[in-house]
Amino acid sequence: MLLDALTISLQLALTTTLLLLLMALPLAYVLAFKSFRGRTALEVFVALPLVLPPTVLGYYVLLLIAPDAALGQIWASVFDSSLAFSFSGMVLASLLYSLPFAVQPMQQAFRAVPQSWLELGKTRGMNIKQTLRHIILPASKGGVLVAAALSFAHTMGEFGVVLMVGGSIPGETKVASIALFELVEMQQQQEAAQLALILLAVSFVMLSVVYSTNRKPLVVGS
C-alpha cells in the first residue's frame, strides 16, 4: 500500500514538473518582458492557486473533466476512458495547482538578467529564440532549478485537489498524502509515521535545493 502510493505520487510529481517547466517557460518570458492589455489578469490567473482553497480548484477541475462536460467527452472519444478519477485527470489538476510555483521563480530569474546582456544579444542580431537559448536560460539556471524543485515538492504534498479529482483508488489514484490520511483514520500509527517521515524528507531535500541554489551568484552561460 505504502509503496504503491509513493510510486503514484512520484510519477505524478515527475510528470507534472516536466510538463510545468514546458508550460512555464513561455508564460514566464511573457510576464517578465512583455507589456500588454490583460497582463494583470494573466498574472492573477497564474497566482490564483496560491490563495484558492485546493478543494475549490479541484471542484472546478472536476466539473471541467466530468463525463458530460466537453473536455471529458473529447477525452473519452479519443482515449476511450474517463478523465475524471484517473491519473491523467490528476495531472491536469496538478498542472493548474502548481503553476505559480513554476512560473514565478522563472519570471523573477528572467527579470534579474542584466539589461546589458539582452542589448548585447540584439546587437549581435539574435532573435527572441536565440536570446532565450543563449542568454536568458543560461543566466537563469538557478530560477529554473528552483521552479522544478518547488513544483515537485508541491505536487508531492497535494491532498485536496487530487482527492477531489482522482479520488482514492488503490494502485491508480491513491497518492501518498491520501494514504497517510487514511492510515491515521485507521489508527495505523507505525505505517503513518513511516510515510510521514518519507514525505518530510522529500520536502526537506527539495527546500535544501531551493535555498542552496538561491545563494549562488548569477553567472551567464557560454
One-letter amino acid at 164 equals: M
- pLDDT at 126 > cutoff 60: yes
Please indicate, yes or no, if residue 41 is contained in any of the structural domains. yes
One-letter amino acid at 53 equals: P
The CA R_g of the chain, rounded to the nearest whole Å, is: 20
Please indicate, yes or no, if residue 221 is contained in any of the structural domains. no
Q: What is the band of 14 on the pLDDT scale with cuts at 50, 70, 90?
A: very high
- pLDDT at 218 > cutoff 80: no
Query: What is the number of domains present in the chain?
Result: 1
Please indicate, yes or no, if residue 112 is contained in any of the structural domains. yes
Please indicate, yes or no, if residue 30 is contained in any of the structural domains. yes
pLDDT of 16:
97
Q: In this structure, what C-alpha cell is assigned to residue 49?
A: 492557486
- pLDDT 10s digits, 138-195: 889 889 999 999 999 999 999 999 999 999 999 999 999 999 999 999 999 999 999 9
CATH code at position 181: 1.10.3720.10
pTM of the model: 0.89
Dihedral angle at the C-alpha atoms of 188, 194, 195, 196, nearest 10 degrees?
100
Please indicate, yes or no, if residue 128 is contained in any of the structural domains. yes
In the block, cell 512555464 appears at 24
- pLDDT at 46 > cutoff 90: yes
Contact between residue 206 and residue 146 where contact means Cβ atoms under 8 Å apart: no
Contact between residue 128 and residue 47 where contact means Cβ atoms under 8 Å apart: no
CA–CA distances in Å: residue 63 to residues 70, 89, 95: 10, 11, 16
Contact between residue 137 and residue 218 where contact means Cβ atoms under 8 Å apart: no
For residues 206 and 72, give the distance between their C-alpha atoms in angstroms, rounded to a whole number: 34
- pLDDT 10s digits, 61-101: 999 999 999 999 999 999 999 999 999 999 999 999 999 99
- pLDDT at 214 > cutoff 90: no
Please indicate, yes or no, if residue 39 is contained in any of the structural domains. yes
pLDDT of 219:
41
- What domain range includes position 98? 2-214
Please indicate, yes or no, if residue 118 is contained in any of the structural domains. yes
Rounded percentage of the chain residues whose pLDDT exceeds 90: 71
Please indicate, yes or no, if residue 140 is contained in any of the structural domains. yes
